[in-house]
Structure formats: structure tokens, C-alpha cells
Structure 1
Amino acid sequence: MSRDLATRPWKRPLSQVITEPASRTFRGLARFVNAVVPLVARRHWEGQEHIPQTGPVIVVATHISNADPVLLGEYLIWSGRWVHFLGKSDIWKVPVLGWLGSACEQIPVYRNTDRASESLVHAREALVKGQLVAIYPEGTITRDPEGWPMTGRRGAAQLALMTGAPVVPVVQVGSDKILGGHRIELRRLFSGRHDVYLKAGPAIDLGGYEGRELTKELADEVTDLFLETLTAMRAELTGLTPPDGRWDMRVGARVAAQ
């Protein structure tokens, strides 16, 4: 591999980085994203060697911006895997976006409805097929004022405990400069290019949880492990010190760790 491709893996042709089957729409979207991202971001990628090239994988990632799925998706695809995100069902109501979501086999989450459990069923089916599923353990974009992972939801932990699939953590920094945080700020798209960092870590060791009954308490414990791992990775990547406690959007303040 040339030095340029070794240091800038996103320049490799898609046909050389991925062998998994995918629809023409998904391939076309990937190439489009790969061409557009350089207009708004300077990529800094690390840890792609931690993404398994075959078999079921769950990726848990930090969530700081509406731009995250695009940037994380490109990173995972150019790591050799098509990604199947769990995303809010509202996206499927948006023209074009909803069609793309279905055409690219993304997984809608019908939160707070009688269909809420469907997303985990479909995610589990994807893992049985040997696919990579990406999920944000916080369930939404963090509300922490400093961008740290906040309290989470149980979905990612439940999926991991039910399937035994390896769980790879990915931390993302800088995407909020492109499109804002939980509130979309389109003006930022015209503020020049920004440094965006994505780094995967080794699979999280869940061996200590094998054989235990899947209860809410166990799911909460594993969710905490995911968030602690992502927090530590963000601290290492940024050089910042994490605050005490974790932001809870229900009370609008940081709460003590359990």
C-alpha cells in the first residue's frame, strides 16, 4: 500500500475496501458521501484494525451531532463493513431520507410506541446474518454541555447480551463543528472545513456477564460499561478530564455515577 493510502485510507477505491454485498443505492450513497465529506471535514481516523472484517459486530459510538451517522458510516464502510444503524423512525417520514434508509437496510426505532421492541428484533436478525449494527447507547445526541457521553438507554446492552456479538466502541470528536449539536445549525456548513476525529477501540470484554439472567439491572450495568469506555476513549483522544458524574437530560444536570 502506498504511503498516501496508508495515511489516508478514505482515498482507497470502495471496491478495494469492502467485499460484503450491498445494494447499488448503498454503494452509490457511500461514494457520494466519500466525495462530499472532504468539503466540510479534515478526517483523522484511528483504530480501524479493531473493526472485524467478517461476522456479526455491534458498534457503540458517542453521539454529539446530526452529522455523526454520515461520518461514522463512511469510517465503518472504509474499514471494510457496511453499517446498519438503529435510528429514530422520524427519519423514515422525511422524503428521500426515508427511502434511502429503507434502500440501505437501516433499522428504524419506534420509540415510545407499541412497536418499540421491533428495532431490537431487526437488529438481532441483521447480526444473525453476520452484519455490522451500529447503535448509540445514549439513544440520542448528548445534551452534556461539554459533549461527554450522558446517561444511556438499555438497547445496546440488551442486544449485546442477547446475541453475544463482539461490541466495538468508537469515539467521535469534532462533528458538532459541522452541523451543530442536538440542534441543527446549517450555517456551520459554510464555516469552512473542520477537524473530525474517529477512533475505534478493542472489543469490550463482556465475558464476566455470560450466563447471567438478562434483567434491567444487568442491562443498566452493561450500559454503564459502554459509556465508561467511550468516556475514557474521548478523554484520551482530546486530552480533557471527564467531569464527575454523567449528564441526565431528564433532570438537566449531572448525576452521580451508579
Structure 2
Amino acid sequence: MSRRRIGFWYRFAAVICKPPLVVLLKRDWRGMENIPAEGGFITVVNHNSHIDPLAYAHFQYNTGRVPRFLAKSGLFKKGFIGAAMRGTGQIPVYRESTDALSAFRAAIEAVERGECVAFYPEGTLTRDPDGWPMTGKTGAARVALQTKCPVIPIAQWGANELLPPYSKRPRLLPRKTHHVLAGPPVDLSRFYDREVTPELLKEATETIMAAITRLLEEIRGEKAPPVPYDPRRERIEQRRRTEAQTRGRGMPAAQRRPDAREAVQEEGQGA
């Protein structure tokens, strides 16, 4: 099979979801010509709002190449939503279980059948304070190197202005614009036919994330930080700060900071 047919469930989901999306969001969609007309491929997309999967799926649906998302396995068990997830062929991700690799295998099989698999390589909503893409996880790179399929980078912006990250209250007015820019395939050929090591996957993932970030810079008309936000590094630094504060509270007052000793002495003199 060269491409996946849209099918009943995807058309049904479009009938339900497209009208409110059209009302809530204006559209500035570019780069549809970079979406392959035939054959399997993956898309890699930045994630900055709980509703941007719907907004992005609207863009992808209109290209005629519907995506299969990797989604939390729990969503597949929730009544109508679960039925829709299964009916549209989404891929369940079983975290911290013996089935954790099944999503990776399913993604490879889908690409090899000529389908599109959509990855949010950050793995969660960005935690960058200004909404830039974070460091990515290696799943998309693993599938790309295994299948040697086209990897289409896609940046989006605007759904986060309608519903900011980690917010439950939308900002309906003024009407927001959903910007999408799909770029040409990321060149990963230098990573082909090499031993797949953690270092190789990390470098390939950084190449993918850099392509997404460049597209988002074009949309936003500004430069991203030179070093992407890394939640793991932030957790380590936060732990160090906490430990330093804990040690500081256990020290005599005169040793907590360089000027504390002088402050204590001055207080004694004043008494």
C-alpha cells in the first residue's frame, strides 16, 4: 500500500472537529507541498498547547495524508474517545511496561505500509518559558534511521495563544491565527548505515529539533535561544539549588553567604 486511506473514523472526526477549529482559529498554513503525496514518512512537530494536536491534525488532514499519532495508552480505553483513537489508527504508547517498545514497532510497520506517523519529539508540552522547542527524545530518529523514510519538520504557533500551555481557560478574543510551516525533509543520510548508538541517536535528534526550531524562528520572526531548554538539566540544577539551600539552612548564620559574617559583626557592634 502506498498510502493510507482516510477512512470513516477520520472523516467522522473531521466533521466534528473542523467547524469549531475554523471558528476559533484563522489559518496561515504554508509548506503543504513538502508533504509527500505517496509512500511512508514521518512528521516531527513542536508541541506548545493541549489543543495543538487537533489544530495540527486539521492541517495534516487537509493535505490528504492523515497522520497516525503516538498517544498515551489510557486514551484508548475512554468510551467514544477510545473508539475514535482506535478507529483512526492512532498508536498507543505503553509507558513503563513490557509493551513499551510496541509503539516503536507499530510506527515502523505503519511507515513501511506507506502511512504517515506524526511525532511530538519533545514528548510533552514545551517547558521553555518562551515556547521554543525543548530538547527532543530519540523515538522519531530511531524510526527514521530504521526505515530511511522522509522526515518532514513542522513548526506551529498560535494554538498556544488560544489555550496557553498548562492552562484550562482559553483566550477566545481576539481571534487567534494558527501558523503552520512544513519544511523540506531533514537530511539524515550521514547517519545511515552506522551503528545505532545513544550518541548517534542524540545527534540525529538534535538535527531534527534544529530543523523544527528554524521553521519556528521563521514563523515568529525572532531567534530562538542558542541552547534548547533541557528539562533533565533543569531538574539536576534545581536539585543542586535545593541541596545548596538545605546545606545553607544548616550552617551558622555567619557562614550562609560571603557578607553574612560582616552583618553579624555589625549587629553586635550596634548592640
Q: Deviations over 1:98-149 (max 9, x none)?
A: 2211111001111222211110111111111100110011111111111111
Higher helix share: 2
- How many angstroms apart in 1 are the aligned matches of 2:164 and 2:97? 29
Tell me which residue corresponds to 2:33. 49
- Secondary structure of 1:45's partner? strand
Q: Shift of the alpha carbon at 1:93?
A: 3.7
Relative distance call for 1:171 and 1:254 in structure 2 (3 A) is: farther
- How many angstroms apart in 2 are the aligned matches of 1:143 and 1:254? 15
- Secondary structure of 1:146's partner? coil
Give the number of aligned pairs: 235
Name the aligned partner's letter for residue 237 of structure 1. Answer: I
Residues 60 and 134 in structure 1, CA contact (< 8 A), matched pair in contact too: yes
- Secondary structure of 1:246's partner? coil
Relative distance call for 1:167 and 1:239 in structure 2 (3 A) is: same
- How many angstroms apart in 2 are the aligned matches of 1:25 and 1:121? 23
- How many angstroms apart in 2 are the aligned matches of 1:116 and 1:27? 30
Tell me which residue corresponds to 1:90. 74
1:230 maps to 2:198: no
Tell me which residue corresponds to 1:112. 96
Residues 248 and 254 in structure 1, CA contact (< 8 A), matched pair in contact too: no
Name the aligned partner's letter for residue 197 of structure 1. Answer: H
Residues 126 and 133 in structure 1, CA contact (< 8 A), matched pair in contact too: yes
Tell me the percent identity: 35
- Secondary structure of 2:114's partner? coil
Residues 169 and 204 in structure 1, CA contact (< 8 A), matched pair in contact too: yes
Residues 4 and 115 in structure 2, CA contact (< 8 A), matched pair in contact too: no
Q: Shift of the alpha carbon at 1:189?
A: 5.7
- Secondary structure of 1:250's partner? helix
TM-score computed with the length of structure 2 as normaliser: 0.82
RMSD: 1.9
Tell me which residue corresponds to 2:160. 176
- How many angstroms apart in 2 are the aligned matches of 1:173 and 1:119? 27
Q: Deviations over 1:204-232 (max 9, x none)?
A: 11111121111111111110001111111
- How many angstroms apart in 1 are the aligned matches of 2:212 and 2:4? 28
1:201 maps to 2:168: no
Tell me which residue corresponds to 1:211. 193
- How many angstroms apart in 2 are the aligned matches of 1:140 and 1:39? 26
Name the aligned partner's letter for residue 207 of structure 1. Answer: S
Tell me which residue corresponds to 1:31. 15
TM-score computed with the length of structure 1 as normaliser: 0.86
Query: 1:1-258 to 2 correspondence within 5 Å?
Result: 20-181=4-165, 183-185=166-168, 187-188=169-170, 190-252=172-234
Residues 124 and 159 in structure 1, CA contact (< 8 A), matched pair in contact too: yes
- Secondary structure of 2:136's partner? coil
Residues 245 and 254 in structure 1, CA contact (< 8 A), matched pair in contact too: no
- Secondary structure of 2:106's partner? helix
Relative distance call for 1:240 and 1:253 in structure 2 (3 A) is: farther
Name the aligned partner's letter for residue 209 of structure 2. Answer: L
- Secondary structure of 1:24's partner? helix
Relative distance call for 1:177 and 1:254 in structure 2 (3 A) is: farther
- Secondary structure of 2:49's partner? coil
Residues 61 and 136 in structure 1, CA contact (< 8 A), matched pair in contact too: yes
- How many angstroms apart in 1 are the aligned matches of 2:75 and 2:234? 26
- How many angstroms apart in 2 are the aligned matches of 1:49 and 1:254? 42
Q: Shift of the alpha carbon at 1:62?
A: 0.7
Gapped regions of structure 2 (runs ≥ 5): 238-271
Relative distance call for 1:99 and 1:108 in structure 2 (3 A) is: same
Name the aligned partner's letter for residue 239 of structure 1. Answer: G
